[in-house]
Amino acid sequence: MTELRIAAVGDIHLGEDVRGRYRERLAGIEERADVFLLAGDLTRHGTLEEGRLVAEEFRGLPIPVVAVLGNHDYHSDLQNEIADVLREAGLRVLDDDGTVLDCGPARLGVVGGKGFGGGFAGKSASEFGEREIKNFVAHTRRIAESWQRALKEIEADHRIVLSHYAPIKETLDGEPPEIYPFLGSYLLAEAVDAVGADLILHGHAHKGTEKGLTPGGIRVRNVALPVLGRAYGIYCVQCPE
């Protein structure tokens, strides 16, 4: 068996004061990974200037880069413009859809998007009551349904789900329980478990825990930079020779 090596990180929150510094930490990444996945919150305030800085930081890397946006990247309502800037720099940006890459020994399918909140089984919001609450939960449900469709349609040797918001509460351990509904939703994990994947990567929970499993047994990794404590983590899936 050979290994498909995935580098991943989220919540890098790049700003002008760190221009070029993150890129320095990516030297030699092609010797350690076959693809680089970015789990959102790439900017601090979602400005176009910050988006352009992120684009330059990742432009021309020797391995493919796939990204999703996070809540910070949406803050200035310029998420579409930021995504376009990143795509122009050669990154693949997912928006509740998927892409397939030829990575080393295998074809890798990556599905996902920002995700959203709502909470976790037994302590979650539901589509009941005021229209505002219904809209909140329906937004997450529609995202989860989009991921499930994309996972069914994608043709690849391995499938990874890339999100900003968390699909399980276990990787939030360390965050105040009161804010769990704003950090993720069980609907995301439920959708992935229904179809299957090799790995789910997310960020958003800076004080969370790195490792967990969905109820269906899929590995989940919180790759937020403050959790990892390093420029990126490396995660592997096995590929038959």
- The residues spanned by each domain of the chain are 2-239
Quote the CA–CA distance of 200 and 68 in Å, as a whole number.
13
pLDDT of 82 reads 98
Distances (CA, A) of 238 to 22, 70, 133, 158: 29, 29, 42, 9
CA atoms of 40 and 57, how far apart (whole Å) = 15
**121 three-state secondary structure:** coil
Please state which of the four CATH numbers 3.40.718.10, 3.20.20.100, 3.90.1170.50, 3.60.21.10 is assigned to the domain occupying 2-239. 3.60.21.10
**Residue 165: which residues within 8 A CB-CB, separation 6 or more?**
114, 115, 116, 117, 183, 184, 185, 188, 202, 204
Q: pLDDT value at position 122? A: 85
Q: Kindly state the DSSP code that residue 41 receives in the 8-state scheme.
A: -
pLDDT tens string, the chain, 241 residues long: the values are: 578 999 999 999 999 999 989 999 999 999 999 999 999 999 999 999 999 999 999 999 999 999 999 999 999 999 999 999 999 999 999 999 999 999 867 899 999 999 999 999 888 989 899 999 999 999 999 999 999 999 999 999 999 999 999 999 999 999 999 999 999 999 999 999 999 999 999 999 999 999 999 999 999 999 999 999 999 999 999 865 5
Question: Given this model, what pLDDT does residue 239 score?
Answer: 63
Question: How far apart, in whole angstroms, are the C-alpha atoms of residue 83 and residue 91?
Answer: 9
Give pTM, 2 decimals: 0.96
Task: Give me the pLDDT at residue 178, please.
Answer: 95
Q: Is 161 helix (H, G, I), strand (E, B) or coil?
A: strand
